[in-house]
Structure 1
Amino acid sequence: MSDDKETVDLFVIGGGINGAGIARDAAGRGLSVVLCEKDDLAEGTSSRSGKLVHGGLRYLEYYEFRLVREALIEREVLMNAAPHIIWPLRFVLPHSPDDRPAWLVRLGLFLYDHLGGRKKLPGTRTLDLRRDPEGAPLLDKYTRGFEYSDCWVDDARLVVLNAVDAAERGATVLTRSPCASARREDGAWTVTTKDRLTGEERTFRAKALVNAAGPWVSDVITRVAGANSSRNVRLVKGSHIIVPKFWEGPNSYLVQNHDKRVIFINPYEGDKALIGTTDIAHEGEANDVHIDDSEIEYLLNAVNRYFKEKLRPEDILETFSGVRALFDDGQGNPSAVTRDYVFDLEDRDGAPLLNVFGGKITTFRELSEHGLQKLGHYFPTMGRDWTHDAALPGGEIKNADYDLFREQMKADYPWMPRALRQHYGRCYGARIAMLVGDATSVEGLGRHFGGQLYEAEVRYLVEHEWARTAEDVLWRRTKHRLDLSEAEKADFAAWFDAQQRKAA
């Protein structure tokens, strides 16, 4: 390891949505930035969400009107920034007299329609579930319902695209490189990282340090930075199950369980459904998280309470669980804990430490902007706020109109099968040309590994998106894992590992 320190303005710990968003915002203001992540980008909480950009309809019940309003405003900002990975969904909310009263639901939906200055999404409507097609898969006792709008997001790709934009604006992004130590020295931070795959150590001298480590934020404060904070986080586990899609149509469903918690049932990857989430206090290590039998039973019971087709444990294709680090506001019920974010700025010896507590995917851009505003005193020459109207990589689509872009793809790539064109469009948007290169046929995309996975995409992900393991490709950069056989996944992993050894 060299004794030379690389000097930067800002060092960011944490490669989830908040860390990647802050790194992007800072780089776009002209600051020199390093982002380090102990695992892969979005490997923790940020790839294990419910995949929604939403205002948080249920937060109205806890009087979080400001949070909902800000999230609703951000919903449309993000739709414009990344229309390839964020798109509208219509949610069907069947009503039962056993649940919240209809007048309360209508009031909540009215507020939801009007709090955030909705412009692009259609408003709420009332459904007659006996006649409207959305009622077909539901039990006959549900005769009335409501339909409202929110948005879908590919959460892991949202993180990666922020990191890509940060890097293209000059930031250094280090994956699988935990921060080994961070200490104040002579009015700045000395930060050391070590790459877990190569063993390379690097030392940086940074004017300011941002701790956006999510569930590990407290660990970074005490163990890594040797600091302290009066604020705490509460770890809450949320689990999801993936099953074959069991209804017709593109809409989602929002149902209420016996305990009054709501469960989302969303179309997923074409022919599948994503169901979640649970909300359970988590006391163990944030790395050690998985769904348990009681959560599976809980989610299946919620679905079977409403739908004619009954789901069984053997219908489950895949599960995932994540730990959300929520700002501890003293609420006993995990569902009632605020999803808002809080900053803790500690300044000793002229070396500021900004700790980030809480937050949600929908408000990451605003969180990042506010975080940089907090640090503005230390960087008086940095640029102004800029991300509100800026597209994310691949989102540079005219008028943010994905339907027009899809038609253009048909003209540009007539040789490409529809399913493959749809996959590339939804993952890479306007950057599809960078992936396809000079190919004029499917054969020109290189080796086929099964499903829609070709060698050209893998090489793009390695060269441009820090994919360093087979799992990075199959699960976080894409969802190919859901469509490859066990043999195909094993063959791909062997090929990928061999390629990485050659490149080393």
Structure 2
Amino acid sequence: MPDMLVHDLLIIGGGINGVGIARDAAGRGLKVLLVEQDDLASHTSSASTKLIHGGLRYLEYYEFRLVRESLMERERLMAIAPHIIHPLEFVLPHRGGGRPAWMVRLGLFLYDHLGGREKLPGSAGVRLKGSLRGAGLQGDVAKGFTYSDCRVDDARLTVLNAMDAAERGTDIRTRTRLTAARRDGDVWIASLEDRVTGAQSEARARHIVNVAGPWVGKLIGAIEGARAEQPPRLVKGSHIVVPRMFAGEHAFILQNPDKRIVFAIPYERDFTLVGTTDIAVDGDPESATITEDEIAYLCESVNRWFERPITPADVVWHYWGVRPLYDDGSDSASAVTRDYVMKLGTEEGPQILSIFGGKLTTYRKLAEHALEKIAPFVTMTRGPWTDSTALPGGDMPGADFAAFLASVRQRWPFLPQATAERMARSYGTRMERVIGDAVSFADLGEDYGGGLTEREIAYLVWHEFARTADDILWRRSKLGLHVPPDTADRLTARLARETANV
């Protein structure tokens, strides 16, 4: 018998923007169904440079509104997710041939003042030669600049929003694809496919929000009666991970002769993350992959600045994502706006809202703007609320992560230090739900490597929508970089038992 429940919103896409809208809408009293064809954050939202930042380079393209909003959001997100968002100092080394020093100083001055900075230190000129900040750089790099932004686990930010949305009543169905939608009076009838079992079902919703990322244009074509829109400009960004390149916990922002910038960021304790590229994508975004030329480009970008060169053979992991940018007519992929654009898609009756562009840092504000667009067509019980409400695990006193981590070590002294820090950064105050009544590490069950235990696996399945080894090793965590080679197979066997009753 078909499900006769009528949702206020059917959200297509389980990336950061989709789950952000779902969280906000559920908190305003709307009945929400979210479907995602794969895992949460399985595409673009887990393929970022792992930063919450204003976008210093966007100033060159006069994106002042976007930079200001991003900087303001940086402050808010630090407060609501202090376990997964942490300050990070950036060093911008300077030598002749790049942007002149006066231009860099002007850009940093604007960056310091556009967004009402409160929590992070301002920019400064620094001497690099002979200092820790300059360790590892080539000998002719004597000076530079510093400024601050934040690092984040992008996939976990996505999952935490989904968890909060679910706890507020959202029906979240991963590995579920919308195949078609048609209007029936004042509602949409959506045809859904379970990609695991192949089962077909229908769902009813008053309005559809299309945040399918690189597939946003394709989804418009699957919805009967939706107004055609210009396809998004698809731009691929690729990253590489190599063994740790330099000492210190600061990151580098490096200028290239092509006027692009590349980041080199301390990553997962033992590694350095290098990215990103900007490559136009034609055709199906699912067929996009990192190329040998991109890997070579990223290696060459850091080799212009560091004494010890890296080669493609040093790459221990790589990833890529396709950004669905709004086509503003820019000549190059790097110049296309990263701002978001929203389009209502029907003249009358049930609405479809399609969203192009956006960046990780502005997801919360994008959700507010999306609900402003939908507001004339639905009844909400409250106004905006997400700017001051902690994400799951972020409700620590004073948003003080250092104090929280100290309490973790005191409360669960049996946890290995690396595991305690990883879990604190992943789960925040919800660590207690993961560890439960355990009084020894053995109480947590079998260790699958990197401190990943049976009890943590069960938590990820039952509370964080994890279903596969990749979900756990590469999205709920980055333990894939740390565990033994047989962990994925062992984990797959374990998940077959754990998910049988979900």
TM-score (norm: length of structure 2) = 0.98
**Higher mean C-alpha deviation, range 148-157 or range 2-11:** 2-11
The answer to whether structure 1 residue 247 and structure 2 residue 241 are counterparts is no
Aligned to 1:322: 321
Tell me, what secondary structure is at the counterpart of 1:389? coil
- 5 Å-filtered alignment, 1:459-470, equals 459-470=458-469
How far residue 197 of structure 1 moved from its aligned partner, in angstroms, is: 1.3
Across the two proteins, how many residue pairs are aligned to each other?
502
> Does the CA contact (< 8 Å) of 2:226 and 2:346 recur in 1?
no
Gaps of 5+ in 1: none
Match of 1:194 in 2: 193
1:374 counterpart residue number: 373
Contact 1:6 1:203 in 2 (8 A): no
User: Are the counterparts in 2 of residues 186 and 349 from structure 1 also a CA contact under 8 Å?
Assistant: no
State the Cα distance separating 1:257 from its structure 2 match. 1.5
Q: Normalising by structure 1, what TM-score?
A: 0.97
Deviating more after overlay: 40-49 vs 123-132: 123-132
Tell me how far 1:3 sits from its aligned partner.
2.6
Task: Describe the SS at the equivalent of 1:240.
Answer: strand
- Residue 262 of structure 1 aligns with which residue? 261
| Residue type at the aligned position of 1:331 | S
Letter of the aligned partner of 1:294 in structure 2?
D
Structure 1 residue 188, shift from structure 2 partner? 1.2
Instruction: Answer whether contact 1:394 1:429 (CA < 8 A) is retained.
Output: yes
State the distance in 2 between where 1:133 and 1:381 align: 53
Match status 1:175 vs 2:174:
yes
For residues 55 and 3 of structure 1, what CA distance do their matches in structure 2 show?
46
Matched AA of 1:439? A
Structure 1 residue 189, shift from structure 2 partner: 0.9
| Alignment-derived partner of residue 24 in structure 1 | 23
Query: Aligned AA for 2:296?
Result: E
Counterparts of 1:225 and 1:465, CA distance in 2: 33
User: For residue 277 of structure 1, what is the aligned residue in structure 2?
Assistant: 276
Q: Which runs of 4+ in 1 moved over 4 A?
A: none
- Report how far residue 193 of structure 1 moved: 1.5
CA distances 1:270-316 after superposition (whole Å, capped 9, x unpaired):
11111000001011311112211110110000110000011011111
Residue in 2 aligned with 1:122?
121
Q: Hey, what's the Cα distance between the residues in 1 that align with 2:482 and 2:196? A: 28
The answer (yes or no) to whether the contact 1:27–1:169 under 8 Å persists in 2 is: yes
> Deviation of residue 226 (structure 1)?
4.8
Q: Which residue of 1 aligns with 2:67?
A: 68
- Residue in structure 2 matched with residue 340 of structure 1 by the alignment: 339
Root-mean-square deviation (Å): 1.2
**C-alpha displacement of 1:5:** 2.5
Gaps of 5+ in 2: none
Structure 2 counterpart SS, 1:495? helix
SS of alignment partner, residue 388 of structure 1 = coil
Deviation at 1:381, TM superposition (A): 3.9
1:237-295 deviation per Cα after TM superposition (whole angstroms, max 9, x unaligned): 11100001121110000101221100000011111111000001011311112211110
Which deviates more, 401-410 or 71-80?
401-410
| 225-234 vs 294-303, which moves further | 225-234
Matched, 1:405 2:367: no
Residue 125 of structure 1 deviates from its aligned partner by: 1.4
- Within 2, Cα distance between the matches of 1:52 and 1:396? 21
Worse-matched range after superposition: 343-352 or 388-397: 343-352
Asked whether the 8 Å contact 2:207–2:352 carries over to 1, the reply is: yes
Q: Can you list the C-alpha shifts for 1:404-428, whole angstroms capped at 9, x where unaligned?
A: 1111112221222211110110100
1:322 partner amino acid: G
Is 1:80 aligned to 2:79, yes or no? Answer: yes
Superposed displacement of residue 498, structure 1: 4.3
Aligned partner of residue 274 in structure 1, secondary structure: strand
Secondary structure class of the residue paired with 1:166: helix
For residue 410 of structure 1, give the secondary structure of its aligned residue in structure 2.
helix
* Paired residues of 2:163 and 2:464 also in contact (CA < 8 A): yes
Aligned-residue offset at 1:493: 2.2
Task: Supply the AA of the counterpart residue of 1:339.
Answer: R
- What secondary structure, in the 3-state scheme, does the structure 2 residue paired with 1:453 have? coil
Q: 1:233, 1:328 within 8 Å by CA — same for their partners in 2?
A: yes
**1:198 & 1:480 partners in 2: Cα distance?**
28
Paired amino acid for 1:38: Q
Matches within 5 A, 1:281-300: 281-300=280-299
- Separation in structure 1 between the aligned mates of residue 478 and residue 282 of structure 2, nearest angstrom: 30
Amino acid at match of 2:146: E
Helix, strand or coil at the partner of 2:272: strand
Whether 1:416 and 2:425 are equivalent positions in the alignment is no
Contact 1:14 1:213 in 2 (8 A): yes
In structure 2, the partner of 1:435 is 434
Equivalent residues of 2:83, 2:401 under 8 A apart: yes
One-letter amino acid matched to 2:501? A
Secondary structure at 1:204's aligned position in 2? strand
Q: Which residue pairs with 2:391 in the alignment?
A: 392
